[in-house]
Structure 1
Amino acid sequence: MSQDSFLQKKNQILSQIETTLGNVPDISPKGSIDELCVPIMNLINSHNDMVTTSSCSGRVSVFLEGVKVKDEGSSSKIGGKGDGGHWLFVEHDKTKIQDWHKDKFQYGQVPTTSDLSTRYILFKFEPLILHVKCRNYETASALYTTAMGCGFRESGIGINNIVAIRISIKLDIPIGYYNQENDTPIAFVTEEYLQMITQLSLDRFEENERRLNMLYEAISKMQVQAPKDSEQQETKEQRRERKRKEGLAKQQQKQAQIEQIEATEQKTTE
């Protein structure tokens, strides 16, 4: 008997999650699952037809752009990570971001010239994101509707019934640039401004957590409409057998129609 392909994939993912929770790093830049995500992941993964594939509870990061122009006629993506782009700071714990900027920068002016050679420093707040693989479209649709109802307006359903749960409370602010001559990050905003946007991020962390709690409660009460037919729940062998029987039934129906027409024509000639 063929094994359930969704269940096989789910078990594989859950095994990886269990390993990561056991302090073995995963492939994410952080290398571990955010503690704030664990309860909702456990809730989702307890559902027969859902499994989490990736998660981030929200974070503040300060990112230095990579080199955007390497030589004449070639360039890399603006804001991209490649060609020297890297984090100057990244933190998922809201209690550890208050003084992140201390001793990080020299303070100066906006560069007098700005072109593709300028490598900007970007302050980012990125909110919660969850990716959930669902067994069928009915489950994906129910989860998507539930997330939208909790204010996760950037959510969507992708291929293979994977639901991305997202919210649009991000920040993405240029705060400085990289001085290549003396290998120094320069902030062209004041320290007071950095304190202000840090507070904006803390406010967003609070809202992010409030929405996450709403989502947890909503998913725990979520009702999934039954599939319109059983095909999405079938094994390959079951589907093949059903198709065979449907084909035989159609042939028999067609043969019966032909016999009925012949009988009618015979009565007419008589």
Structure 2
Amino acid sequence: MAASMRFQRWKEASQSGADFSKKGSIDSYIVSLVGFINSQENYFTTSSCSGRVCVYSENNLSGLKKKGCTWLYTTHEYAESGNILDAIKNSEEDAVFKFEPFVLHVQCKTLEDARIMHQVSVESGFRNSGISLGKSGKIITAVRSTHGLEVPLTSHGIVLVSDQYVEYLVKLANEKLEENMRRIDRFFSNLKIHMDQAKGHVSSSKTKNSSLNCGSCGQPITSTHSKGQKPAKHTGHVNPSRTEKNKTEKTQCNGDSKNMESDEIEDIGSLFNT
């Protein structure tokens, strides 16, 4: 009971407080997703980013990065090479081009709630997701992937690459942004299925036939997988109903200290298998 009340206080404090992010608001593409998670009794979000393309500059001293950086360009939508080229012309330091994929931190009421959130994340394509436990009892699931991109463009104000190469980087980043959006949509869809099943909103027959979408191709994971059949189109699928039985992949749990409270984090990833 005490733990439940403490979680509720944390949730109320988080949702009533100010948004301290640089932007000051939730990214438009994930407003519905964040709202849905926050409407669930056992979850609430603590930080999020839908994904972005940016250029920032940093000043290096004896090979060590100084704290902080200067943002030259950033967008949560498709980038344009002309804007990137204009941005690096104004840099007198070391400018870096970067694509950062979707990241979401969700505080969970119980370890079982965190396990479910992590399972949905991995099955939706966010395979670098993990679970962290703070000494104060806070349980955080970090939803994230590894398809980022980071390339230096200038050194001490000198442009190192051609305009053509910048155009190529922008094209590559925009393609990654498209895949990022598909994964977010898949995650949202799969999360709704899990939440409905958990609340009993789906009839037993419908629940039996409901399926998650594959993190690789986006197609449903069908019942044929429970029989060990793996159609060529769905190679590598893992049947959710056999997750507990086939514990072969250890949870990756690398807590993002920048998005957590100041209390020390204990890695408990080894307790959760998917």
Give the TM interval when normalised to the shorter protein: 0.5 to 0.7
Structure 1 residue aligned with 2:16: 15
Deviation per CA, 1:189-239: give whole Å up to 9, x if none.
0111101100111101110100000000111011559xxxxxxxxxxxxxx
- Unaligned stretches of 5+ in structure 1? 20-25, 70-74, 108-117, 179-184, 226-270
Equivalent of residue 106 in structure 2, options 129, 132, 157: 132
Whether 2:27 is the aligned partner of 1:34: answer: yes
1:14 to partner: Cα distance: 1.8
**Identical amino acids, percent of aligned pairs:** 34
User: Which AA in structure 2 matches 1:54?
Assistant: S
User: Distance between the aligned counterparts of 1:186 and 1:36, measured in 2?
Assistant: 35
- Unaligned stretches of 5+ in structure 2? 200-274
1:102 to partner: Cα distance: 3.8
User: Which AA in structure 2 matches 1:203?
Assistant: E
User: Distance between the aligned counterparts of 2:80 and 2:12, measured in 1?
Assistant: 36
Structure 1 residue aligned with 2:192: 220
Q: Is the 8 A contact 2:88 2:153 kept in 1?
A: no
Q: How does the TM-score come out when normalised to structure 1?
A: 0.65
User: Distance between the aligned counterparts of 1:97 and 1:5, measured in 2?
Assistant: 46
User: Distance between the aligned counterparts of 2:112 and 2:89, measured in 1?
Assistant: 54
Larger radius of gyration: 1
Q: Is the 8 A contact 2:53 2:74 kept in 1?
A: yes
User: Which AA in structure 2 matches 1:65?
Assistant: E
SS, match of residue 87 in structure 2: coil
Aligned length, in residue pairs: 191
Structure 1 residue aligned with 2:147: 169
Alignment of 1:33-112 (within 5 A): 33-69=26-62, 76=64, 78=65, 80-82=66-68, 85-94=69-78, 97-106=80-89
1:81 to partner: Cα distance: 3.9
SS, match of residue 168 in structure 2: helix
User: Which AA in structure 2 matches 1:7?
Assistant: Q
User: Which AA in structure 1 matches 2:170?
Assistant: T
Alignment of 1:1-12 (within 5 A): 4-12=5-13
SS, match of residue 83 in structure 2: coil
1:98 to partner: Cα distance: 4.4
Equivalent of residue 152 in structure 1, options 78, 102, 126: 126
User: Distance between the aligned counterparts of 1:106 and 1:172, measured in 2?
Assistant: 18
Whether 2:179 is the aligned partner of 1:207: answer: yes
Q: How does the TM-score come out when normalised to structure 2?
A: 0.64
